[in-house]
Amino acid sequence: MTVAGFALPENASSHTDALFMPVRIGPLELRNRVVMAPMTRNRAGAADVPQPIAAEYYRQRATAGLIVTEASQISPQGKGYPGTPGIYSREQIAGWQRVTDAVHRAGGRIVLQLWHVGRISHPSLQPHGALPVAPSAIKPMGSAKTAVGPQPFVTPRELETAELPGIVESYRRAALNAGEAGFDGVEIHAANGYLLDQFLRDGTNHRTDAYGGSVENRARLLLEVVEVVSKAVGAGRVGVRLSPIGAFNDMKDSDPDALFRHVAEKLGSRGLAYLHVYETDPNGFDWAALKRAFGGCYIANGAYDKARAVAVLSSGRADLVAFGVPFIGNPDLVARLKTGEQLAEADSATFYGGDYRGYTDYPALA
C-alpha cells in the first residue's frame, strides 16, 4: 500500500510497523512517524530566553521522528503568556542554539513553531503597556494569563492595513533567526485562535480591506507569511499548523469547510514540508478531504493513542501523528509505543511554569 507517495509494507495495515517506519519530508529524513506536538511550558527566563534546562527537556525526547517546539513569539508584540520563549533577539537565538545542538547530538530533528498571539494577550505583557492587536477590535471571552494571575481580556486594537507588511517581515526575520539557531525548519502557527487564525476566521475578522470579507481575503495574510518564510528558509523546511473547527480562544467560523479547503489547496501549491492539523473532533470535520486538498505530507494531531495512530497511518488518511501530553510524562514515548509498555501519567499541575519538576525529571524505561 502507499501513503502520500511513501511505500508501506503489505502487512503494515495490520501491524504497528507504520508508526515506526522512516519517512522523508522536504529535505529531512525522519526515523519514525511519531511527532512531538508543540506544547507551551512557560519556562523561558528573563527577556524570554530559552534556558539550559530546555535543552535537556528536548534532548530527552529526541527519539521522536520530529520535534515541534513550543510556540515562540516572533516579536515582543507577539507575546501572550509569561515565560514563553522568543526568536527575535541575539540572546534568544543563542538559547535555542543550545536546544538544537542537544537534539542533533541525540540524533533528532527539530523545528521551531513561529507565533504571534494577536488578541490573546494583555497590556501587561505588551511593550509599553500597549493594547494587543488583532484583525478586528473584538474582545475574546475569558482571561489572559499574566505574571500576577488571570486578568480579563481587553478589547484589542485593530491592525491598520499599513502595519501588516511589518507583521509579515517579523515572521521572515524570525524564520531566518531559527535557521541561525540550528533548527531543521519552522512551523507557522496558524491555529488555536492566535493572530493568523484570527485573520482566517470570520468570527474574529470583520475587516473591509483586502484582508477581510471573502475567504480569499481572509487567507491573504497567512499566504503572505508562508511566501516570505519559504523564501527565507526554503519551502521544504516550512510547515503550517491549522485547527479548522477548534473553539479554543473563543474562535468560530460560519463555513469552515469552504475556508479551510481553500487554505489547504493554496498551501498545497507551495511545496511545503507538511500540514499539521489539530483535529479537535475526529468526526466533526472531513479531515480526509482536507488532506486531499493539501496533497502533501499531513500530520494528524488530537488526543491520538497508539491504536488510533496506527489506524490513521495505515488507512492513508495521515502520514505522521503528533502526540502532545504523552510526551510530557514519557520522554521515551516512541520506545513505549513500540514495546507496548504502560505510559506514565503527566502531572498537570506542572504543565505551565516552574522548574525541572514535571519537566525533565520523568524517568525513561531502564
Catalytic residue IDs: 194
88 close to 73: Cβ distance less than 8 angstroms: yes
Distance CA 41, CA 99 (A): 15
Distance CA 82, CA 78 (A): 12
Distance CA 346, CA 194 (A): 26
Distance CA 19, CA 306 (A): 9
Distance CA 204, CA 111 (A): 28
* Burial label, 340 (beta-carbon count in 10 A; 0-12, 13-18, 19+): exposed
The helix/strand/coil state of 92 is helix
Residue 70 CA neighbour count, 13 Å, CB half? 29
In degrees and rounded to multiples of 5, residue 93 shows phi and psi of -60, -45
DSSP secondary structure code for residue 130 in this structure: P
What does the block give as the cell for 338? 513500540
